Amino acid sequence: NAGVTQTPKFRVLKTGQSMTLLCAQDMNHEYMYWYRQDPGMGLRLIHYSVGEGTTAKGEVPDGYNVSRLKKQNFLLGLESAAPSQTSVYFCASSWGPKSYEQYFGPGTRLTVT
């Protein structure tokens, strides 16, 4: 099993450009999450999904959109990137209700210039 994978690992964008980060898990997990990690602020939840076709906002959702068309994939989109979105992005997944361990991907470092 590959576990949780993220594509790409690094990306540099110019302000106003768009991009999609892909998260894939091969563990048949029900729940998936997107976090961002900024210096001195820990990880903060952007959006999450409790099942295929469902998404919900987390703590810092502005400027991002997500989709979960397939159970194994969770996409994070930036429609018009801003320098404030420079961060490391982590995807995580878990089995679902009553399962509290989240499995994390390796992260994507995004720089917006």
Partner 1 sequence: AQTVTQSQPEMSVQEAETVTLSCTYDTSESDYYLFWYKQPPSRQMILVIRQEAYKQQNATENRFSVNFQKAAKSFSLKISDSQLGDAAMYFCAYLWTGTASKLTFGTGTRLQVTL
**Which residues of this protein are in contact with partner 1, per CB under 8 A?**
31, 33, 40-45, 48, 50, 56, 58, 88, 90, 92, 94, 96-102, 104, 106-107
C-alpha to C-alpha distances, 39 to 44, 87, 88, nearest whole angstrom: 11, 8, 9
Nearer of residues 12 and 41 to partner 1, judged by Cβ: 41
| Residue 77 beta carbon to partner 1: minimum distance, rounded to whole angstroms | 20
Closest C-alpha to 40, from 78, 87, 85: 87
Q: Which residues contact 106 (CB under 8 A, 6 or more apart)?
A: 5, 6, 9
Question: Closer to partner 1 at the Cβ: 31 or 64?
Answer: 31
Cβ nearer to partner 1, comparing 51 with 83: 51
